[in-house]
Chains A and B, each alone.
Chain A
Amino acid sequence: MGLIQFTNKGIYCKQGDFYIDPWRPVNKAVITHGHADHAKWGNKSYLCHTLTKPILEERYNLYGNVETLPYNQQIDINGVKLSMFPAGHVIGSAQIRLEYKGEIVVISGDYKTEYDGISTAFEPVKCHTFVSESTFGLPIYKWQPQQLIFNSIDSWIAENHNKNKTSVLVAYSLGKAQRLIQNLKSGYPIFVHRTIAALNEAFRKAGVQLPSTIQTTPEIKKDELQKGILIVPPALADGKWIKSLTNPAIGICSGWMAVRAGRRWRSADAGFALSDHADWPGLLDAIKATEAEKVMVTHGSTAIFSRYLNEIGIEAEEVKTQYGDEEADEKVEADIEENVTEKKIQA
């Protein structure tokens, strides 16, 4: 058996006796990034990148049992050398590099190869075994440079203002929301939902520079929102509150919006293919750059992507994990929260 095994609790490193992104409670969890499908509550101790710590603190109230590591710094766990390299996915996202007796394994978590202006840029790491996602592992997914996408979001917002519509951007709270806040150039005030505001605050405390935002509260008038930009997590997009705004125009920011079916299914007014995952060329470039002898494909189009890798001469296999769509997981969280909010309003 090699340096890692795929068990029913998660990716396990026997030599170091720790798990990476476990989905069941374990003693020692090494976390690639703060999305709920990778960072679960309930482990005895955590090791994550310095900027993932504020997320765990904010989301799970974890204090005292979270150790951190900056990028490019090696530590030793029972003889296994562990270090973290930027994954470019969201703030604090890290690829975990393990080295033991000359064998090197890199677990990438989720990653994207384009620099997004706020998360530390992805760095390829040479290794023998590379564990990769394949969320957008089909050749139909090829992102536009993000500047073009932000230009079209900005002009969509400008048009909404002309038509007296309220611009509502749907983006998950961790990562996409901060990326929008950082890159939108229209100069309108940005209102954010509570879950986003809380994360922004945590990041600011940890020293991340973010443009200022205003947390939405029931006191803020609807015409004030109409004059600004509103960013909400996916679960709220179909909610009653959004429908009650002044002429809401809903723009969903997600890689799935690259395909017409994705846009129409969500019945949004606009879809922007802005993703925090690597696109097809991004996945292939990243994998080639690792020079890995073996690729393990954990989630997404696993079967298709690993078959293709094998055909182009890169040994690959699919492994079953419980990682998936961070939007789906976040939806559950926000659903609960919206119910609570609605109950409060009713009371």
Chain B
Amino acid sequence: MRRFAQLIQELELSNKTNDKIAALVAYFSEADDRDKPYVIAMFTGKRPKRPITTTLIKQWAIELTNLPEWLFTESYHSVGDLSETIALVLPEANNYINKPLHQWITELAALQGKTDEEKKEYILTSWNSLATQERFIFNKLISGNFRIGVSNKMLVNAIAKQSEQEANKIMHSIMGKWQPHEITYEELTAGAHVNTDNSWPYPFCLAYAIDTAPENLGATTDWQAEWKWDGIRGQIVKRNGELFIWSRGEELVTDQFPELHFLKDELPDGTVLDGEILAVKDGSVLSFSTLQQRLNRKVINKNQLDNAPIGFYTYDLLEFNGKDIRTEPLSKRRNCLEQMIGNLTTKNIAILSPVIEYKDWQELAEKRETAREINSEGIMLKHVNSAFHAGRKRGDWWKWKINPYTVDTVMIYAQKGSGRRANFYTDYTFAVRDGEKLITIAKAYSGLTDKEIKEVNSFVNKNAIEKFGPVRTVKPELVFEIAFEGIAESKRHKAGLALRFPRIARWRKDKKADEINTLDDLRQLLSSASL
């Protein structure tokens, strides 16, 4: 546990990728072998079922500290993390124990099904045997939610380096189906489990945003252009009579999309498709907000099935007749894909994502401008000879997105951030004008530099009007340009509409609060956007 606590501290204090990888490599070289699979599972979001609710944990901490609940809540707002708040406010432990990480995790898992009293006794005893930093880790183990800035790619690179294996293979291996208590670190790095597993997907090939004029990419004939769809990127795997649908978040989402289950009967064994899960009606792609009604639901009702029927727009073919063809050139994979989709008996559900015909870059640029009309985010450019790389690689694939919408707003609320920004007002709520009133339309917490954040922070400190818990209302004075990807009607928001992916584009120091946009401006945008 102490070695793991040290790793977390090293990862948190460093903001350089190389240092983080070095810390991970050192950890995987030194740590208890039995701990390692659990750490990999945690960092890749393979979360065990939470044995105890947050409410109970919080309640026990409050009882133990004798603090009034409001004070605990204030402390939480200052710290920005519940696990850490509890670790800090609890009385000092008086009976230190150093158990290995896997033992803590196993003990926590064993609490499933126990009575609340038994759980409480275990938690209180554990708290009393851990120092602050380890207590924080312990609390994180209960929630299973470690967000410490380690991407899958970074983890894979570290494990690959430590075990002297290829990164691709490691990525395969850790993305497959395995349980930390059933596998050793050696088996995991050797990929012992993945061949016998029908479900494993390939790592997604991702694109960087284009950083040059497309003219500089060379001959148009070298580049296949496709629409960039705004849905859920997915892989459909059919092997040995079984069908699996993976989302890009490496989640198995097969059950969520019954419309695609016919592929189990119609796709040949040994097939893996890459594509986009979309809401599609009468041959038109619907907005992401429509698709959202279908996501993360355990039960889907008829209404949802009718409103947001699912389609799968295929981009690529990764496995063909049981053979990994990712290193074949794109043009060849596309041929196989067209043949494969053509052979399906059920038409119009799993279709080819169309290739855009264009003579020159100018024509493509014009077509890109029409992307919004068909609910596309822009254009993807893929080199005809490109392989389907594991992860993000510069050069072969580019995304060429349309420019976001923007709106000028004024900041009216501010709240302290969490995590590394817990001591600064970093989460802002923005409003547009509606007649004489201001009406909130978005909350955003990204897009400013540290220096600007400090500046806004001192403005908030000086201009706070009222406070509601952690929220401060501030004098409506600072104007920000908010960029967003889409707009949708919303009953939940007072403005009657909601922005998609709002973020701060610029701080408009040149503008005054009476120069901001109005709610009517946004309503017009809403009626012109295709829904």
Residues of A near any B CB (own CB < 8 A): 138-142, 256, 258-265, 267-271, 301, 304, 307-308, 311
Contact = CB atoms under 8 A, between A and B. Distances in A.
A259 B67 contact: no
Given A260-B84, A264-B420, 18 more contacts: A138-B78, A139-B75, A140-B75, A140-B89, A142-B92, A256-B423, A259-B84, A259-B422, A260-B419, A260-B420, A261-B80, A261-B417, A261-B421, A263-B12, A267-B15, A269-B14, A270-B13, A271-B13
Interface of B: 12-15, 65, 67-68, 70-72, 74-75, 78-81, 84-85, 88-89, 92, 136, 417-424
Contacts of B78: 138, 140, 259
A52 to B, nearest CB: 29
Given A140-B75, A270-B13, A265 B421 contact: yes
A258 B70 CA distance: 21
Contacts of B80: 261
19 contacts: A139-B65, A139-B72, A139-B88, A139-B89, A141-B88, A258-B88, A259-B88, A259-B422, A260-B81, A260-B419, A261-B79, A261-B81, A261-B417, A262-B423, A264-B13, A264-B419, A268-B13, A269-B13, A269-B14
Contacts of B13: 263-264, 268-271
Nearest to A328: B458
Contacts of B417: 261
A139 B419 contact: no
Contacts of B85: 140
Contacts of A268: 13
B243 to A, nearest CB: 43
B465 to A, nearest CB: 15
B88 A261 contact: no
Given A260-B12, A264-B13, A270-B13, A140 B79 contact: yes
B88 A265 contact: no
A259 B87 CA distance: 10
Given A264-B13, A268-B13, A269-B13, A138 B75 contact: yes
A259 B88 CA distance: 8
A319 B136 CA distance: 35
A264 B75 CA distance: 18
Contact of B418 (A140, A256, A261, A270): A261
Contacts of A256: 423
A263 B133 CA distance: 13
B74 A138 contact: yes
By secondary structure, the B interface counts as: helix
Given A142-B88, A268-B13, A259 B420 contact: no
A261 B422 contact: yes
Contacts of B421: 261, 265
Contacts of B92: 142
Contacts of B420: 260-261, 264-265
Given A140-B78, A259-B84, A264 B71 contact: no
A322 to B, nearest CB: 12
Q: Which of A256, A258, A265 has the most CB of B within 10 A?
A: A265
A234 to B, nearest CB: 13
Contact of B423 (A139, A265, A271): A265
> Which among A261, A269, A308 has the greatest number of chain B C-beta atoms within 10 A?
A261
B127 to A, nearest CB: 15
Given A261-B423, A262-B422, A304 B88 contact: no
A90 B514 CA distance: 49
A144 to B, nearest CB: 9
Nearest to A258: B88
A301 B79 CA distance: 13
A63 to B, nearest CB: 35
A230 to B, nearest CB: 19
Contacts of B68: 308, 311
Nearest to A304: B74
**Which of B70, B78, B419, B421 gathers the greatest number of chain A CB atoms within 10 Å?**
B78
Contacts of B418: 261
Contacts of B14: 269
Nearest to B133: A260
B88 A140 contact: yes
A165 to B, nearest CB: 12
B225 to A, nearest CB: 41
A311 B89 CA distance: 18
Please list the 4 inter-chain residue pairs (A to B) with the smallest Cβ-Cβ separation, ordered nearest first: A261-B422, A264-B420, A140-B88, A139-B89
B74 A261 contact: no
Nearest to A265: B420
A261 B71 contact: no
A301 B420 CA distance: 19
A15 B227 CA distance: 80
Contacts of B84: 259-260
Contacts of A139: 65, 67, 71-72, 75, 88-89
A267 B14 CA distance: 7
A44 to B, nearest CB: 30
A267 B421 CA distance: 11
B79 A259 contact: yes
A335 to B, nearest CB: 13
A314 to B, nearest CB: 14
A270 B417 CA distance: 22
Nearest to A273: B132
Contacts of B72: 139
A37 to B, nearest CB: 15
Contacts of A259: 78-79, 84, 88, 422-423
Nearest to B8: A260
B12 to A, nearest CB: 6
Nearest to B80: A261
Contacts of A138: 71, 74-75, 78
Nearest to A266: B420
A256 B421 CA distance: 12
Nearest to A308: B71
Contacts of A140: 75, 78-79, 85, 88-89
Contacts of A258: 88
B461 to A, nearest CB: 10
B450 to A, nearest CB: 8
A264 B88 contact: no
Most buried by B among A259, A269, A304, A307: A259
A311 B68 CA distance: 9
A142 B131 CA distance: 13
Contacts of A265: 420-424
A5 B182 CA distance: 70
A141 B70 CA distance: 17
A323 to B, nearest CB: 14
Nearest to B426: A265
A265 B85 CA distance: 17
A135 B15 CA distance: 29
A265 B420 CA distance: 5
A143 to B, nearest CB: 11
A268 B13 CA distance: 7
A265 B450 CA distance: 9
A318 to B, nearest CB: 13
